[in-house]
Structure 1
Amino acid sequence: MPPPLSLSSIALALACCASHALATDGDYQTKTPYAPQQDPATYAAPPAGFQPIFTQLVARHGSRGLTGMKGDAALYAMWRQAAAQDALTPLGRELGPNILALMQANALLGHGVAGIDKPGYGNLTRTGIEEHRQLAARLLARLPTLFAQVGQDAATAPRQLVTIHSGVDRARDSARFFTQSLLEHAPALAPLLYLPPAPAPYPQGRTPAVQPILQPDGVNRFLLYAHKLAPRTDFVADRANPYFATYAASQAYQRYERTKQLHALMDAPAREPAAAAHARHVLERLFTPAFLAQFHGGATSYADTGSYTFTSADGKLTRTMTGNGKTVIRSLNAAATQLYELYAIAAGMRHEVPADFSRYMPAEDARYYASVADHEDFYQKGPATTASAGMTWRFALALREDFFNEVDALAAGDLRHAAKLRFTHAEMIIPLASAMGLQQPLPPETSYSHADSPWRGQSVSPLAANMQWDVYRNGDARLIVRLLYNEKETPFQPSCDGARIAPGSVFYDYTGLKACYGHAAAQ
């Protein structure tokens, strides 16, 4: 029998995170490093007679680097040309070395870090690793009686801690660091960790020449990468297949992303006079007016071309990165937007890149570019408009139903799962919030704006964003549920208020909650 989970380790988990900040300064939009949004000491206690029986979460991967050498290389090419023309201000001369340092950090990201298999762009940063380690520790600290009971009973009444992820490295690694942290604080849980087999081999039903692609255990693209299901890997032809509707919704969404209708909505801020004003305010601090004037009339552009070789400080890793030329800066607005992207990503790379990119992005301009990114995400990933009829989130319905299916199993007496842990991306967290009814679409005639809408990427899906359901049961087998969104006690959709166990309570009767959502299969 494994040693029981000690309450002293739970206390340690709580102590390690008690001083964690509840907010992060800066306008980094969905690149905002994670901070829990409520002090755990203020969580409501469950009603008398109820004990925790299960918990589940879905979490975005932690803080990461850039996903590829694109805008950074294009902006560096622009800087090099300005340097060759002696067209840099004193502050601008400092920008180039900082961009190059950021590129090097991304090219080597994860080198020497146990648990990172392949260093390079797109990996978790040290901040991102710690975000998930602390998230796991706070989960243990929040539900000590659940995990103590699970650990003590592991030999006689085994229950599973089911872990799944999207299959993308940063989501897989977030799962790895999260579960490592669980076991450091609670070694008795080790026998309970379980990576279920991936859904049956896909693609299916195309031609005999197409071989099904087997995914590793623990991967579920249909739940956690549904925004980008691909015919090559995920094709589903059989309408009776449980993932048919999700695949169809994913294909419909990807078609919608390419429509002129969507891009007209997303591109609206770029047509406003504020775009040119903010671009000039950012860039004239770095480049001479004559150099910037070369953009007029499309006379010049800069792309992510060329090769760069970087070697780690210990000399053990050398990587050569070559741009593909697909990211092109053709305007002042494009240049300033790319600089904002570097400013935002650098917030989660403070251990890897000591450069302070806020020097190049004044606060008022950072707020503006965050608002533009929010505008784009609201229409592309968020609730969008009533006219879009859920196109931007219907592929996340299967993920929502997976939450209900887990609690349904408990209600039916199936206690095999003590927890279900899912690791995904912003492109799933944001649509899930809409599928849960936590966000509302706008009428087609109303345009999204910061002034009129509370929707913010930094609160909807910061890095390591998460939704968690804690499930409690009493002696009469009644189940109640609490929703934590970024670790803040959060109401379910307004139409479910009648399922609260008492007016204003954060606990919901599961039977009423299930009826409120209809527990409908994704369709």
Structure 2
Amino acid sequence: MVHTTVFRRPLAYVLGSVALSLAGCGGGDDAPSASANLYYQTKTPYSPQQNAATYEAPPSGYSTVYTQLMARHGSRGLSSLKYDLAVYNMWKKASDDGALTALGAQLGPDVLKIMKANFLLGYNVAGISKPGYGNETQVGITEHTQLAQRMLSRNAALFTQAGAAAASSPRQIVVVTSGVDRAVDSGAFFVKSLLAAQTNLTSLVNYPAAPAPYPAAAPVAQPAGTNHFLLYFHKLVAATDLVTNPADPLYPTYQDSQAFQNWLKDSDLAAKQAAILADPAAKTAGRVVLERLFTKAFVDKIEAGTYSFANTGTFTYSSDDGKFTSTLAGDGKTGISNLGEAASLLYELYVIAPAMKSEAKVDFSGYMPLAQAQYFAFTQDAADFYKMGPGILEKGSVTWKMAQILEDDFFTEVDAIAKGNLGHVAKLRFAHAEIVIPFASKMGLKNVLQQQPLASLYSYANNPWRGDYVAPMAANMQWDVVKNSSGTVLVKMLYNEKETDFKAACDSARFATGSHYYDYTKLKTCYGHTSL
């Protein structure tokens, strides 16, 4: 059954709800929203959420013996030729009609700057193998470079000891990625930064063999350090990942991935996504944005359906040195058929511009007033909330059950330490928002796992989930593990480098009242993890 109820709210209500929510829209420990003033949501460039000088020190008698990380790739350009080309085609028609305002006249050239920068993104940048859309920008490279530096600084004694003993008692730094370029590159930039600061760690870096053989009937080889099941579990496909044997430990993950992919075609999800932009507030906000750029008559034609646009057309750009040329064509699947869609696609350029400040050198803030950025941030959060966040209560854990393998992997690493196996000094994992978001839900982080009943619609007034807290660019979860001479193991979690509580049900596992260190034996029992 398709639920088509549209929850209609005036724009003042929606924006009022946004404003009221800012004080408490962060995540664990009531962290403030990372983009409370700019509304970039999951495209927010990364910044650590706590001053390292304020971190809780290990309890007396404990020292750090291990650390691990799972991180989203760094800030990137647009994923493909869609938003930019659709917006450009709208602008071009307005230009042809003589329907541009003075501000609107600047939009087309700025869109072309964004487009050219994405066509050439990563060209002549060491560490980027294939230039073009979807690559990390200089901002993203810096994010992972600095993230590594801070991990090294935070665990200085651990890595100094590991480096000094590299020849006699080597402990591996295990590196695993999803296998997708920008995640692979993020891992490479992170490791490069780590080794630049401490060269004696070089021999410790290990890229383990990919899970194999999959599919069993016709195995597809994957590069060392690749693990689709662990870090690309939202999109496992039969061609490379098929698991048919129920006894295979990876069978549940494959099945959970298929369930999630079926969810993306669910009629209830489609109805919720449609309801978000069907709200009259979307049209109101869209008109405010567009009438600053185009004449009212032109905007009226979009609203009436007289004009519609899509990402059609072919463009070619060459690098300044003439040694690289890229030609791409739009697929026509990204369209503009109403005012809300038009402004939401412009919002997509607004949120990507800060990540591309070195490459495109454009500022889109003038095209997206703050109140409207705030509104379209809400629509983006709502879409992500339903697609891969906590989602609909009646649908259960379909959006995050597939993250069980990653939760297990974190606990299994600490199991080894608890058993006295110090073969690993660190494990570094690099993935995507589609992995970070379900994982945060699976871990039950505060303000992250509040589901919404089917009969209601997500809003900032009724739900604390925010994309800029859960999955900004380079979002990460880190566990630092400490141990004392009697073998007791404690774990502390950092989420986006802020000391963060494990789920509330595990409060009794805290080492002490108010501490961010948790007794590992009690913690794994609370999460239902069974050591192998």
Q: Does TM, scored on the shorter chain, surpass 0.5?
A: yes
Q: Which residue of 1 aligns with 2:231?
A: 224
Contact 2:34 2:469 in 1 (8 A): no
What 5-or-longer segments of structure 1 have no aligned partner?
A: 1-21
How do 1:51-200 residues align onto structure 2 when only pairs under 5 Å count?
51-200=63-212
Q: Aligned-pair distance for 1:385?
A: 2.8
After TM superposition, list the pairs within 5 Å mapping 1:192-271 onto structure 2.
Answer: 192-204=204-216, 208=217, 211-271=218-278
- CA displacement at 1:284 relative to structure 2: 0.6
Cα displacement string for residues 84-119 of structure 1 (whole angstroms, at most 9, x for unaligned residues) = 111111110100000000000000000111000011
Alpha-carbon shift at residue 127 of structure 1 (Å): 0.2
1:271 and 1:66 mapped to 2: Cα distance? Answer: 25
1:23 CA drift (Å)? 5.2
1:378 maps onto 2:390 in alignment: no
CA contact (8 A) 1:393 1:434 kept: yes
Paired amino acid for 2:431: T
Task: Give the equivalent residue in structure 2 for 1:291.
Answer: 298
Matching of residue 441 in structure 1 with residue 461 in structure 2: no
Question: 1 CA distance for matches of 2:214 and 2:179?
Answer: 14
C-alpha separation in 1, matches of 2:303 and 2:100: 18
2:336 corresponds to 1:324: no
Aligned to 1:455: 465
TM-score for both structures, normalised by structure 1: 0.93
Question: How far apart, CA to CA, are the structure 2 residues paired with 1:69 and 1:384?
Answer: 29
Superposed CA offset, 1:315-363 (max 9, x none): 2222112112221211111111100000001121111111110010000
- Summarize deviations over 1:476-497 as a string: whole Å, max 9, x none: 0110000000000000000000
Taking a change above 3 Å as real, the CA distance of residues 23 and 450 of structure 1, as seen in their structure-2 partners, is closer
Tell me the distance in 2 between the aligned counterparts of 1:296 and 1:272. Answer: 14
For the Cα contact (< 8 Å) 1:123–1:169, is it kept in 2?
yes
After TM superposition, the structure 1 stretch with the greater mean CA deviation from structure 2, 299-308 or 229-238, is: 299-308
Matching residue's letter, 2:189: F
1:381-416 superposed Cα distances (whole Å, 9 cap, x missing partner): 111132121100011110011000001111122111
| Distance of 2:242 and 2:473 partners within structure 1 | 30
Instruction: Identify the match of residue 312 of structure 2 among 300, 305, 308.
Output: 305
Q: 1:267-304, CA deviations, whole angstroms, 9 ceiling, x for partnerless residues?
A: 32212221110000000111112112222443332121
SS, match of residue 45 in structure 2:
coil
1:29 aligns with 2:41: yes
For 1:71 and 1:216, locate their aligned partners in 2 and report how far apart those are by CA, in whole Å: 32
Specify the alignment match of 1:7 in structure 2: none
CA distance in 1, matches of 2:235, 2:304: 36
Matched-pair contact (CA < 8 Å) for 2:302–2:339: yes
CA distance, structure 2, for counterparts of residue 77 and residue 295 of structure 1: 13
What is the deviation of 1:49?
0.7
* 2:400 is equivalent to residue 393 of structure 1: yes
Q: 1:338 aligns with which of 342, 345, 365?
A: 345
**Equivalent-residue separation in structure 2 for 1:93 and 1:315 (angstroms):** 29
Q: Structure 2 counterpart of 1:307, which letter? A: T
In structure 2, the gaps of 5 or more residues are: 1-32
Q: Is the 8 A contact 1:398 1:521 kept in 2?
A: no
> Structure 2 CA distance, aligned partners of 1:296 and 1:416?
63
Structure 2 counterpart of 1:442, one-letter code = Q
Does residue 518 of structure 1 match 2:528?
A: yes
- Cα distance between partner residues in 2 of 1:102 and 1:477: 55
CA distance in 2, matches of 1:232, 1:297: 44
> How far apart, in 2, do the equivalents of 1:270 and 1:305 lie?
23
Q: CA deviation at 1:426?
A: 0.3
Aligned-partner Cα distance in 2 for 1:380–1:273:
22
Answer yes or no: is the 8 Å Cα contact 1:385–1:441 preserved in 2. no
Distance 2:258 2:306 in 1: 38
The amino acid of 1:176's aligned partner reads A
Matches of 2:177 and 2:452 in 1, distance apart? Answer: 35
**What SS does structure 1 have at the residue aligned with 2:355?**
coil
2:452/2:458 contact within 8 Å kept: no
| Native 8 Å contact 1:201 1:215 kept in 2 | no
Identical-pair percentage: 53
Say if 1:521 and 1:238 are closer, same or farther in 2 by CA, change over 3 A: farther
Contact 1:227 1:253 in 2 (8 A): yes
Kindly indicate whether residue 512 of structure 2 is the aligned counterpart of residue 505 of structure 1. no
Deviation (angstroms), 1:443: 4.5
Amino acid at match of 2:90: M
The answer for the alignment partner of 1:491 in structure 2 is 501
1:520 Cα deviation after fit = 5.6
CA distance in 2, matches of 1:286, 1:325: 23
> Which residue pairs with 2:373 in the alignment?
366
Closer/same/farther in 2, CA of residues 520 and 440 from structure 1, 3 Å limit: farther
Q: Indicate conservation of the 8 Å contact 1:62/1:129, yes or no.
A: yes
The alpha-carbon deviation at position 451 of structure 1 amounts to 2.2
Letter in 2 for 1:463: M
| 8 A Cα contact 1:23 1:36, kept in partner | no
The letter of the residue matching 1:140 is L
Cα distance in 1 for residues equivalent to 2:167 and 2:429: 25
Structure 1 residue aligned with 2:21: none
| Residues 202 and 521 of structure 1, relative CA distance in 2, 3 Å threshold | farther
How many Å separate the matches in 2 of 1:123 and 1:350?
Answer: 14
How big is the alpha-carbon RMSD for the aligned residues of Structure 1 and Structure 2? 1.4
| 1:46 and 2:58 matched | yes
2:427 partner SS: strand
Runs of 4+ aligned residues of structure 1 deviating over 4 Å after TM superposition are: 22-25
Pair 1:468 & 2:478 matched: yes
Give secondary structure in 1 for the equivalent of 2:130. Answer: coil
Amino acid at match of 1:255: N
Q: Is the 8 A contact 1:34 1:463 kept in 2?
A: yes
Distance in 1 between residues matched to 2:332 and 2:54, nearest whole Å: 51
Q: Distance in 2 between matches of 1:515 and 1:58?
A: 22
How far is 1:42 from its partner?
A: 0.2
Count of equivalent residues: 496
Using structure 2 for the length normalisation, give the TM-score: 0.91
Counterpart contact for 2:408–2:529, Cα < 8 Å: yes
Q: CA deviation at 1:237?
A: 0.3
Change (3 A) 1:446 1:81: closer
**SS of 1:295's equivalent?**
helix
Aligned to 1:12: none
2:40 alignment partner AA? Y
Deviation at 1:521, TM superposition (A): 9.5
Q: CA deviation at 1:156?
A: 1.0
Measure the CA separation in 1 of the matches of 2:119 and 2:182.
15
The residue type equivalent to 2:450 in the other structure is P
Map of 1:16 onto structure 2: none
2:7 aligns with none
Indicate the SS of the match to 1:348: helix
